[in-house]
Amino acid sequence: MSEKPILLAACEVAKHFGGVKALHDVSLTIRRGEIYGLIGPNGAGKTTFFNCLTGLYKNEGGYFVFDGNRLAADAPHKAAAVGIARTFQNIRLFGNMTAIENVMVGRHLRTNANVFGAIFRNPATRAEEVAIVRRAEELLHYVGIHERAHDYAKHLSYGDQRRLEIARALATEPKLLALDEPAAGMNGTETEALRLLVEGICRDGVTVLLIEHDVKLVMGLCTRVAVLDYGEKICEDVPAAVQKDPRVIEAYLGGSVA
């Protein structure tokens, strides 16, 4: 695994809210083709790390190097442009748009039609529009909700909404897909299906960063895992080693890590 090139390096990333240190000099490296897990108890700073990475928050200290370039992510759309796509812990879909339209919005970044194209519908714009629809259909197929393509996003079931969010993120052609607790609120069957989906995504060449509460899922899925506790990285290793780490067991109070 270690011979693969580094995709993302976080170097001493720090973020605080008022007096509270949400992230304390967190460093980690994610290699191409990995499924990298980020776990930790509630409030450990996982989502804050995500938000810094994707430009939603501005980190006060440290920096990210992504794909060989320093990330100047002061705006989320720039992070998306360099190839970091994300989902949200509390699903954020465009509820009053259909499933396929949600994915089509994801294509925004990789398409070019401007106002003039929209008004005049020149051949290039029409061709692009056809390509957008086709790609969106493919992605809905890929995540397995194509039969719901023309339903409003808010009418989808919880599990399907999670899948739709992943499809929308994939539409931006990411190199790194950051999933914020994708299995939250899912039952066993849905979680298993999700596991297969994430594995598939990774196999198809997208590196995955996974925040998850479901430790079992993380341990079964991830190639490496970092553990955050109170804003600090206390451990980073392969799942088997993390599970045995005494600091991790302590952080999880009594070692529910198994």
- How many residues of this chain bind another protein (CB under 8 A)? 52
**Binder among 20, 81, 124, 241 for another protein (CB under 8 A):** 81
Contacts of 173 (CB under 8 A, 6+ apart): 83, 109, 110
10 contact partners, CB below 8 Å, separation of at least 6: 26, 27, 28, 29, 49, 53, 62, 64
Contact status: 96 vs another protein (CB under 8 A): yes
Least Cβ distance, residue 80 to another protein (angstroms): 3
Instruction: Choose the binding region for another protein from 78-86, 190-198, 217-225, 238-246 (rule: CB under 8 A).
Output: 78-86
Hey, which residues does 13 pair with through a beta bridge?
26
One symbol per residue from 57 to 76: x for binding another protein (CB under 8 A), - otherwise; what is it? Answer: x-----------------xx
User: With binding defined as CB under 8 A, does residue 168 bind another protein?
Assistant: yes
Q: Is 64 exposed, middle or buried (0-12, 13-18, 19+ CB in 10 A)?
A: buried
- Return d(Cα 92, Cα 78) in angstroms, integer: 19
- Give every CB contact of residue 126 below 8 A, 6+ residues apart in sequence: none
Residue 25 CB: number of other CB atoms within 10 A? Answer: 15
Of 59, 98, 191, 207, the one binding another protein (CB under 8 A) is 98
First to last CA, the chain: 24
The residue among 170 and 202 lying less far from another protein, judged by its C-beta, is 170
Q: Name which of 128 and 190 has its Cβ closer to another protein.
A: 128
The DSSP code for 62 is: E
Whose Cβ is closer to another protein: residue 131's or residue 238's? 131
Residue ranges that bind another protein, judged by CB under 8 A: 47, 50-51, 54-57, 75-77, 80-81, 85-86, 88-89, 92-98, 100-101, 104-109, 111, 113-115, 117-119, 121, 125, 128-129, 132-133, 150, 152, 154, 168-169, 171-172, 180
